[in-house]
Chain A
């Protein structure tokens, strides 16, 4: 019988922020979401799995040993030559004591999630603090030190012999994961994001399709600022389901950043909470159709950290574990975590305020998004078929 279990991977170290308390990347988002789910009765103790260590060989398959060395030295407070070259000590990735421990644990947790699916212990596994898709082979970037997604995909492909479809719905392009598998035909990377013309990291344009054996196994859908739910979903539907289906993956990896939400302070997309949930639900349905539902999901971006992120990721867990969530959020959660974080937490799962977007702008963005999705599908589909 097919395993139907859904698990959450977590570890005490993961509640620590690698960059300290004044940095916009809030590590508490995972713990905040977990607490919300527990207080709703949607997450029980036996839904949670721990984290296993990974070996050096997997790490060095994804990251340059010299970079790993620089990261560990920086985290231990030792001097690092060329820190800037490795993207360390920048405004985005400041050097903070112990940051390497958190970063490596995040990597181990996403690999653990992948292994739980690969060995049949669970069908779907979520790791909320993962999703650090900007980390490159020898460079930290955009709040990301270790590319946990690339580690998990490397584990699934090279050690488990599985074909992996990676779907990244963070508002930023998944550049680190794309680069890691740029020439690989056993990994399809799909990224739907605000265009690099207007948003970090400035890549993920439609002509980026992979090279060599990987040609056609990289799909990008860049969106204009202020693309709304309808525009996003129509473009997504015109491209992503067919791309993943024709790839015939064994397992799907979802990077579920919550920063495509209209309230996110770092991005300019215009999705609502319902829109984000609809995107997650679509990816889950794709995995259901293409690989018996086997998937792992991670968090990612999400900088409206207290209002938007816990609600979006709670909805993600609800979809993955197929559990109903109440609309009125538990008072216990609001009080405990509101005091701990010094913020006012939302009262309802549903959102009272909808994005106030100019209809001409959203219609233009929607029309553009659909045209791009169709262009990418038209160009790439012969490449997908050629692999049969």
Chain B
């Protein structure tokens, strides 16, 4: 999935000369925590900075990191963060999520060429990731360990197809040198029945636990898609 699939397209941007007190009022009015800052004519406006509710709160604050030289009557330009960490609409959501974490920012304005086309926050990215890993139709979770070599996942899927099961999702739970644990959703209510057949056919089934081992809970469906 790409950033363009999940980004918010209706972005509220502001001018760098807007007084800080007006920015605060607008933020409250719109219930938004970040404003991209655009400079220049409408068609050729370019992204010059970004301001967050946290930057605004620092104005006039006694906190050591606050700016004693700035007042709420000054232009937002004086406190905006620049240059801005951005995303491109064609970026994969995994890349955007990685950048959010690495740069320790709350949002990424999405810029195509010089044009601001959207904004994406951790919220949209998390939603997209849960949509990838979550079930989309009636199905049962199986967690199966397959060896880390060409064709092993194909063999598993082939086996399931032979049992007339439809697979609605496949995700990787973990991947190691020797083995890959995959979470597979199949269209059957009888997960333990499928698991027992897999076990008999020589597969390592981690969930449902039908081998009689200690009670384990599945890790499954909670990591990124393959």
A interface with B by C-beta (< 8 Å): 24, 84, 90-92, 134, 141-143, 172, 175, 196-203, 224-226, 265-266, 268, 357-358, 361
Contact = CB atoms under 8 A, between A and B. Distances in A.
Contacts, number: 81
A224 B220 CA distance: 13
Nearest to A84: B166
B192 A265 contact: yes
B141 A203 contact: no
A91 B215 contact: no
A196 B138 CA distance: 9
B217 interface: yes
Contacts of A225: 215, 217
Contacts of B163: 91
Interface stretch (B91-99, B101-109, B181-189): B181-189
A224 B208 CA distance: 13
B159 to A, nearest CB: 13
Interface of B: 134-135, 137-141, 163-166, 185, 187-193, 207-209, 214-215, 217-218, 220-221
A175 B208 CA distance: 21
Contacts of A175: 138
Nearest to A144: B189
Given A92-B189, A266-B189, A202 B141 contact: yes
Nearest to B134: A202
B191 A200 contact: yes
B217 A201 contact: no
Contacts of B188: 90-92, 200
A58 B165 CA distance: 32
Nearest to A143: B189
B158 to A, nearest CB: 16
Nearest to A203: B135
13 contacts: A91-B163, A197-B220, A198-B208, A198-B220, A199-B141, A200-B139, A200-B140, A200-B191, A202-B185, A224-B217, A266-B189, A357-B215, A358-B215
Contacts of B187: 90-92, 141
5 closest cross-chain pairs (CB), A and B: A202-B135, A201-B138, A142-B189, A200-B140, A200-B189
Contacts of A197: 141, 218, 220-221
Contacts of B214: 358
Nearest to A259: B189
B190 A91 contact: yes
A116 B187 CA distance: 36
Contacts of A361: 215, 217
A173 to B, nearest CB: 9
Contact of B190 (A24, A226, A357): A24
A90 B163 CA distance: 10
Given A24-B193, A92-B190, 12 more contacts: A91-B164, A134-B138, A134-B189, A141-B138, A142-B138, A172-B189, A200-B188, A201-B135, A201-B140, A202-B137, A202-B185, A226-B217
A198 B193 CA distance: 15
Given A91-B164, A91-B165, A196 B135 contact: yes
Contacts of B192: 265-266
Given A199-B140, A357-B215, A90 B221 contact: no
A197 B135 CA distance: 8
A293 to B, nearest CB: 33
B127 to A, nearest CB: 11
Given A91-B165, A226-B215, A357-B215, A201 B191 contact: no
A202 B217 contact: no
A258 to B, nearest CB: 15
Contacts of B190: 24, 91-92, 266
A90 B187 CA distance: 9
Nearest to B210: A265
A141 B187 CA distance: 8
Contacts of B140: 199-202
A202 B139 contact: yes
Contact of B141 (A24, A143, A198): A198
A305 to B, nearest CB: 13
A266 B138 contact: no
A251 B81 CA distance: 60
A224 B192 CA distance: 17
Contacts of B217: 198, 224-226, 361
Contacts of A24: 190, 193
Nearest to B143: A198
A259 to B, nearest CB: 10
A42 to B, nearest CB: 31
